Structure 1
Amino acid sequence: MSVSVAVTGATGEMGRAVLDAAGDREEVSVAFAVNRDPDEDASVEGVPVEPAREFDRLLADRDPDVLVDFTGPASSQNYVAVATEAGVASVVGTTGFGDDGEQALRELAEYAPVLKAANFGRGVHALLSAVESAVADLPGYDAEVTETHHNRKRDAPSGTANAILETIEDAREASGPADGESGERVHGREGEAPREAGEIGVHARRAGTITGEHEVLLANNHEELRLTHRAEDRGVFAEGALDAAVWLAGREPGWYDFADVVEGGDDGATDREATDRGDDR
């Protein structure tokens, strides 16, 4: 059975990639695509792009199964709120949310399924797993995270870099932080800036048309370990977002993660139960 998707930010780079990927998948159909103030008769991959102000009406008329959103935090929150009111599930790839914005999405997930991920690359999911294991196995090692993206990316560090940083912090907490470790994130270095024990260096680079690269460096004891993920095309993320949409269609209301999709979880029960309790995980 085909899963029908609505695509927002349709003329943006990720919106285009999603529509391109959807056209090659038999199990996915596009109900409609919208963008803020599109050109007259605009279309992407043969799909007409309609004005975002028509989003409410299009939801009612076309009845999609899932919203796929790669826009900005404010517009994304609005789209998901409207979709939730219509009983439509949402896959959110937008990054840059503050704590209040993400909490608002979690509250909407009480009424319709919401799956939010900083990165829809299956390789990134594997990277996070490897980082968790490596940090646990290398206590006391210095950690540096470097991410590189195209020169138009707005948020820094990237959502994926923040997910990596949280993984490092959680792994250290689980294994017990070493005495005297600060655990502080240090963004770049300038002037006299010696490393403090346990701090995590964070570096964001913006240049050219680079799709996305993330590297974790762990170093100590006269050795270093580098874990790197490099995305060569946005289609990687588009395919993952559509995998998530197919998986999410028909699910119960709740907060889901791309790990549920990759790991083949049946219901994402842990996250959904946390949402039902109102926990801010």
Structure 2
Amino acid sequence: MTVSIAVTGATGQMGRAVLETADSRADVEVAFAVNRDATDASESVAGIAVEPAREFDALLADHRPDVLVDFTGPASSQNYVAVATEAGVASVVGTTGFGDEGEQALRELAQYAPVLKAANFGRGVHALVSAVESAVADLPGYDAEVTETHHNRKRDAPSGTAKTILETIEDAREESDPQRVHGREGEAPREQGEIGVHARRAGTITGEHEVLLAGNHEEVRLTHRAEDRGVFAEGALDAAVWLADREPGWYDFPDVVEGGDQ
């Protein structure tokens, strides 16, 4: 089966990666692509004309794709998903930086069409999170520090993946009131049970996440490093293929990796 997709944010870093990766896959075809700054269809990515975002509604009605793949910004993403949902089109959302209200709005839309949202579409990151969960459970009382590094154009900090890792650590510790400390300055001795969080932005780094667990005169470091955005594009397209025939509901990338139905 070939899954038809619509791609938003088509000239952004991830939008380009999705279109370029889709071009090499037999199970995916691009119905259309849009970008907010496009004024006409003169620009193309991987042979796909990039249309103005204002035409999204009409293009959706004309082409009837199976799945929307969105890597834009929280406000525009919410709007795209709302329009797609109304048309009965599933949505794969890789946009990060949503507040609680924005994510809740997406969850409400998922009542009417399938929505899969993930902070990271790397299968290696899924393995990292699983390893972190196990290590934290096996090392109670060890100090935990989370460091993430991304390119200098990334807006949200800490990254969505770092937030997922932090939630995993907190759940494994079963603490009711976890304390996250973002960076350190001045007199800042470490308090029992806190989790240090550090975000770095530099150059063109695709993405790196490290979890440090230290105690009892030993340390464990768990690290994932993405060398190319194609890693995330492949995962997002895997998610689109998996999501195409699902019932309305809220899904996450582990559902795809683990092959689950819920």
TM-score (norm 1): 0.92
Distance 1:159 1:144 in 2: 16
Q: Deviations over 1:91-118 (max 9, x none)?
A: 0000000000000000000000000000
1:182 deviates by 6.2
The number of equivalent residue pairs is 261
Q: In the TM superposition, what are the counterparts of 1:1-281 in structure 2 within 5 Å?
A: 1-38=1-38, 40=40, 41-173=42-174, 177=175, 183-265=178-260, 267-268=261-262
1:39 deviates by 5.1
Amino acid at match of 2:160: G
Amino acid at match of 1:31: A
Distance 1:2 1:262 in 2: 19
1:244 deviates by 0.1
Distance 2:178 2:79 in 1: 35
Amino acid at match of 2:257: V
Q: Is the 8 A contact 2:2 2:26 kept in 1?
A: yes
Q: Is the 8 A contact 2:147 2:210 kept in 1?
A: yes
Q: Deviations over 1:143-187 (max 9, x none)?
A: 0000000000000000000000000001100xxx5xxx9620000
Q: Is the 8 A contact 1:144 1:216 kept in 2?
A: yes
1:250 deviates by 1.1
Distance 2:99 2:36 in 1: 22
SS at match of 2:200: strand
Distance 1:85 1:170 in 2: 35
SS at match of 1:15: helix
1:38 deviates by 1.2
SS at match of 2:211: strand
Amino acid at match of 1:118: A
Distance 2:146 2:45 in 1: 36
SS at match of 1:127: helix
SS at match of 2:198: strand
1:257 deviates by 0.5
Gaps of at least 5 residues in structure 2 are: none
Amino acid at match of 2:204: T
Following TM superposition, where does structure 1 have runs of at least 4 consecutive aligned residues deviating by more than 2 angstroms?
none
SS at match of 1:192: coil
Q: Is the 8 A contact 1:182 1:198 kept in 2?
A: no
1:197 deviates by 0.1
Distance 1:98 1:183 in 2: 19
Gaps of at least 5 residues in structure 1 are: 269-281
Q: Deviations over 1:116-144 (max 9, x none)?
A: 00000000000000000000000000000
Of stretches 34-43 and 162-171 in structure 1, the one that deviates more from structure 2 is 34-43
Q: Is the 8 A contact 2:94 2:118 kept in 1?
A: yes
1:37 deviates by 2.4
Distance 2:28 2:186 in 1: 53
Amino acid at match of 1:263: E
